[in-house]
Amino acid sequence: MLALSCLNLSTDSAGISLKTQELYALVFVTRYLDIFDRFASVYNLIMKLIFLGSSLSIVWYMRRHKVVRRSYDKDQDTFRYQFIVLPCLLLALVVNHKFTFKEVMWTFSLYVEAVAILPQLVLLQRTRNIDNLTGQYVFLLGAYRALYILNWIYRYLTEPYFVHWITWTAGLVQTLLYADFFYYYIMSWKNNVKLELPA
C-alpha cells in the first residue's frame, strides 16, 4: 500500500494528497499503541514498525524534502481533515468494544482509515490530471481494502469467534468510497484512455 506512494515520492509528489498521507500516519500511530506493551511475534512487530516508519517518512518527505515538497500542490490539496478527525474521534468515544484508551484509539484508527482516502479523491477530482502511477496507487489502496473484506469473510466462516462488526462496517464504508473511482479506473483501462474523474 505505502510502497507505491514511496515510489512516486522518490521522484515527485504531484497528484498525491499530503492530507491523506497524514491521515494514514495518524491511523498507524493510533492503531499500534500496543507496540510498547504487547508482543505478538517478531513478524508482527516488524510489520508495525514498517507501517509506522513508512507512513511518517512519506509525510516528512512531502513536507520537508527540498525536491519532493516543490512538486506537492498544496493549493489543490485543500480538504479540511478536521471534518474527518473530529467526527471519527467522537464516534470512537461512543461506539467501541471497550471504553479504554487503547481500545478507543484502535477504534478511532478504523474510522479514520475508512475515510482517509477522501482528501486524495477530492484532489484527483479537482485537478483532473491523473497520471498512471497515481491512478494505480489509489486503485491498489482500494483493492487492498476489498481483499481485506474477503479475508474477513473467510475468517468468519472458519473461525467461530471472529465477529468484529466495527471493523467490518468501517471496511465496507471504505470500499464503498472507492466504488466510483473503481468504475472510472476500470473504464479507462478497458477503453485504453487516460483516467479522468468527473467534476
pLDDT of residue 4: 43
Mean pLDDT across 127-146: 84
pLDDT band at residue 2 under the 50/70/90 scheme: very low
CA distances from 89 to 59, 92, 178, 187 (A): 22, 5, 22, 36
End-to-end Cα separation, the chain, in angstroms: 26
Largest CA distance in the chain: 52
**Vertex 158: Cα angle to 150 and 175 (nearest 5):** 15
Q: Where are the beta strands (DSSP E) in 108-197?
A: none
User: Across residues 87-115, what is the average pLDDT?
Assistant: 95
Q: Is the pLDDT score of 188 beyond 80? A: yes
User: In the prediction, which pLDDT does 50 show?
Assistant: 94
The number of angstroms, rounded, from the C-alpha of 101 to the middle of its chain's C-alpha atoms is: 22
Instruction: Give me the mean pLDDT over the 114-139 stretch.
Output: 87
Higher pLDDT, 159 or 2: 159
Q: How far apart are CA 126 and CA 197, in angstroms?
A: 9
Q: How far is CA 149 from CA 108, 165, 169, 174, in A?
A: 19, 12, 10, 10
Give the tens place of pLDDT for each residue, 165-181: 888 889 889 888 888 88
pLDDT band at 147 (very low <50, low <70, confident <90, very high): confident
State the pLDDT at residue 129.
66
Residue 6, pLDDT > 60, answer no
How distant, in Å, are the alpha carbons of 34, 38, 84, 129 from that of 199? 42, 47, 22, 12
Total H helices, total E strands in the chain: 9, 0
Inter-residue contact 55 to 24 (CB < 8 Å):
yes
Instruction: Provide the pLDDT for residue 11.
Output: 59
At 31-82, the pLDDT tens digits run 999 988 888 889 989 999 999 999 999 999 999 998 888 888 888 899 998 8
8-29 residue pLDDT tens: 545 567 788 999 999 999 999 9
User: Does residue 137 register a pLDDT over 70?
Assistant: yes
Give the per-residue pLDDT at 10: 55
Spatial distance between the Cα atoms of 59 and 76, rounded to a whole number of angstroms: 17
